[in-house]
Amino acid sequence: MQTDPALVEASLPLPKEIAAAPPVPNDKDLPPNELFDPRGLPVPTEAPAAPPPVEEEEDEPSMAESLAVNLVKRMVERGMMTKEDAQDLFRVAEADVAAAKAKRRERKAAEQEFARATGIPASAAAVAGGAAGAVIADSEKIRVTYVPEFVKNELREQIKDELVLEAKKGGILSPTLLPEWVSAWHPFVDFRMRYEYDSFPSGNDVSGAFPNFNVINTGAPYDTSSTQFAPQINADQDRERVRLRLRLGTEIDLGDHFSLGVRVGTGDSNSPVSGNQSLGSTNAAPGGNFSQQGGQFSKYAIWLDRAFLKWEPVDAFSFTIGRFDNPFFSTAAIWSEDIGFDGVVLKSRYNVHDGLEPFLTLGTFPIFNTDLNFASNQPSKFQSRDKWLHAGQVGVDWKISKDWHAKVAAAYYHFQNIEGVLSSPYAPQNAEDQGNTDSSRPTFAQKGNTYRPIRNIVANATNGFGTTNQFQYYGLATPFRVASVTARLDYNGFEPFQVSLMAEYLQNLAFNRSAMNAIAVNNRSSGGFAGGNKAWDIHLRFGTPEMHKRGDWMTYLGYTHRESDSLVDGFNDQNFGGGGTNLEGYTIGGAIALSPRVNAALRWMSANQIAGPQFKADILMFDINAKF
């Protein structure tokens, strides 16, 4: 690198020792006979350029140091690195810094010793050779004391490009390197491919004891005077399915403590409890008719799965409206892992003491809204019967000690108008002739709940005095006011492994056995109505708490008991026993991380029906999961 000495002389101050020296004549000002001194030695023809001042080393952290420290902290917060690894990195870095400072001190001591031995001031000794742009070399490094501005600019651009590239590789982009609107978006995606084997052991009842009330209620009413069976649930034929689930969305920071969330996903249907799309499946539409969703390499539908606005003025309080994740601390016994809640929810928590944090959740959620034109074939419309869920939960999150953590909560779920209601007496002329309480039937169900007829059909001449045209729908036979207690206890004394015990107890307080015995059409035995109103779920889990790196793993064992009318079967776990209630049995499974973002999981579930005829189902699931 060459530097114009004149520019250096004009821009850099001279050291005092050099500035005080008498000027040396230039060869242009001397006659030829004065180019040599009396001793015969050549006269210096040009003064050496003044060296730039030696910059003192700063103790302030550089931009690179600050970026490295914050990057490590961010990786720990996101679970990409353990606290122990981060502390090791910091210890190594501190040792390197201490070694570098020691070498600097040795170099300065050598410069001072050189100055004493030669009589050259230390400031000049540091830049021995005199010219700007001179290079100081020691045994380990070369330092350029002057860099032109255009070189600095080029270096800045190169460093910036490298930082952006590294940030992209690591999944972290500094807000200072991106437009504001980009840094406000937080996209995410998860993918799951599942192999599922549904097995039905011999001995299950196949006499028509398991009506598919969901198909009946979402299609044409069932004519009870018909000689054909009502739609039935499979109880004897094993099935294999390959199922896909894809969900993608984003959360957007709107500023002023507001955020917006959106998610879309796959699904065989608009089921509230599943995002699975069975590959190659031609699905049954309401009423049992085939739809055009799937089969023959057909494309699959995408559904709006989440859409919400959240206001969080402080960390301890949030208010959310729209469609959002389950806001309650619960198990799959009452709420499916895939379910979304429509409505309004308020969440609050308060740290009363280190490690002790009570919390409160309150919400109201529309379950069903009466059609504006109900009944569509009647000039005079029927009265609305909207369905709501009003719910509240209070609990405490308690970090008992370094190794022990507990969380306990009690909840109350009031399902308003969810039970079926008997209509005013009438005689339907055909399947489209609606009753005034048809809207009290559920628009989605799995299986297990007890049902009652909701059409009060009059026997007269138009229906052969009850022998024909008995078009019937079915509603839930009991109201639901469910109380629950949920608890989780974690032990972290085997780090990096964790032992976790999760349990929940539920009871439907509105259950009336004698009233249901008079109207129930299912869940009966030789002694009458055999259903119940209690449920409990318990799971023991051991392994790494999260799947953050390759080789992380966990395994679990669980038992569940869900009586027929302990909870609404349309909203709970869709996997155990094929979904719903009136089931009990075991679950065993495990998972292992193949990379920080990909894992494999295996699960086996064995379920038996509690009340009524025999129904057993064994289900095997193998999943490959990926997320970003």
**pLDDT surpassing 90 at residue 125:** no
Distance CA 249, CA 180 (A): 19
CB 407 within 8 A of CB 447: no
> Among 338, 326, 333, 327, which Cα is nearest to 274's?
338
Residue 214's alpha-carbon distances to 211, 220, 235, 449, in angstroms, are 9, 11, 16, 11
How far apart CA 346 and CA 385 sit, in angstroms, is: 26
Q: Per residue in 66-81, pLDDT tens?
A: 667 777 777 777 767 7
Per-residue pLDDT band at 590 (split at 50, 70, 90): very high
Contact 488, 455 (CB under 8 A): no
- Give the CB-side neighbour count of residue 301, counting CA atoms within 13 A: 17
Residue 140 pLDDT: 44
In whole angstroms, what is the distance from residue 91 CA to residue 84 CA? 11
Please give the pLDDT value at position 65: 67
Residues 536-584: tens digit of each pLDDT: 999 999 999 999 999 999 999 999 999 999 999 999 999 999 999 999 9
| pLDDT at residue number 215 | 94
β-strand pairing of 528-529 with 583-595: unpaired
Residues 500-515 pLDDT 10s? 999 999 999 999 999 9
Q: What is the spatial distance between Cα 506 and Cα 487, in angstroms, rounded to a whole number?
A: 12
How far is the C-alpha of 192 from the C-alpha of 201, rounded, in Å? 28
Among the listed residues 29, 20, 13, 569, the one whose alpha carbon sits nearest the alpha carbon of residue 333 = 569
Specify burial of residue 133 (Cβ count, 10 A radius: 0-12, 13-18, 19+): buried
> Which secondary structure element, helix H or strand E, spans residue 123, and what is its range?
helix 122-125
Closest alpha carbon to 216 in 207, 224, 205: 224
Q: Poorest-confidence range of 188-202, 254-268, 289-303, 462-476?
A: 289-303
pLDDT at 113 over 80: no
| Sign of torsion over alpha carbons 520, 521, 524, 527 | positive
Tell me whether residue 228 is exposed, middle or buried, using C-beta atoms within 10 angstroms of its C-beta: 0 to 12, 13 to 18, 19 or more: exposed
Q: State the pLDDT at residue 353.
A: 87
Contacts for 81 with CB less than 8 Å, ≥ 6 apart: 72, 75
Q: Which pLDDT band, with edges at 50, 70 and 90, does 148 fall under?
A: low
Rounded Cα distance, 293 and 521, in Å: 33
Identify any residues that bridge with 525 across adjacent strands, giving them in sequence order: 528
Strand extents, DSSP E, 328-426: 340-349, 356-368, 387-398, 404-416
Helix 149-170 crosses helix 63-77 at what angle (to 10 degrees)?
0
Length of the chain: 628
CA distance readout (Å), 559 to 196, 306, 332, 504, 566: 20, 31, 12, 11, 16
Question: How buried is 452 (Cβ within 10 angstroms: 0-12 exposed, 13-18 middle, 19+ buried)?
Answer: buried
CB 579 within 8 A of CB 273: yes
Report the distance separating Cα 417 and Cα 522, nearest Å. 21
Query: In 3D, which of 541, 538, 525 has the Cα closest to residue 582?
Result: 525
In this structure, what are the phi and psi dihedrals at residue 146, rounded to the nearest 5 degrees? -140, 125
Mean pLDDT of 461-469: 93
| Confidence at residue 579, expressed as pLDDT on a 0 to 100 scale | 96
Chain segment 8-47, per-residue pLDDT in tens: 444 444 444 444 444 544 444 445 455 455 555 555 555 4
pLDDT confidence of residue 76: 73
Average pLDDT over every residue of 156-182: 66
Note whether 416 and 390 are within 8 A (CB): yes
pLDDT of residue 409: 98
**Contact at 8 Å (CB) between 390 and 481?**
no
The bridge status of strand 528-529 relative to strand 497-508 is unpaired
437 residue type, one letter? T
CA neighbours closer than 13 Å in the CB half-sphere of residue 589: 19
Residue 126 has pLDDT above 70, yes or no: no
Residue with tokens 């504001």: 180
Q: Which residue has the higher pLDDT, 197 or 139?
A: 197
Report which residue type is found at 544. T
Contact in structure between 191 and 627 (CB atoms under 8 Å): yes
Q: Which residue has the higher pLDDT, 471 or 141?
A: 471
Confidence of residue 381 (pLDDT cuts 50, 70, 90): very high
> How confident is residue 172, by pLDDT bands cut at 50, 70 and 90?
low
pTM: 0.73
Q: How many CB atoms lie within 10 A of CB 58?
A: 7
C-alpha span between 12 and 123 (Å, rounded): 14
Which residue from 340, 335, 245, 368 is spatially nearest to 574, judged by alpha carbons? 335
Residue of 82 and 382 predicted with greater confidence:
382
pLDDT of residue 38: 54
As a whole-number percent, the residues of the chain with pLDDT over 70 amount to 78
pLDDT for 83: 77
- The pLDDT value recorded for residue 207 is 93
The average pLDDT across 186-195 equals 97
| Distance from C-alpha of 488 to C-alpha of 300, rounded to nearest angstrom | 38
Q: Which tens digit of pLDDT belongs to each residue from 292-318? A: 567 888 889 999 999 999 999 999 999
What pLDDT was estimated at residue 28? 46
Whole-number pLDDT of residue 123: 53
Q: What percent of the chain has pLDDT over 90?
A: 65
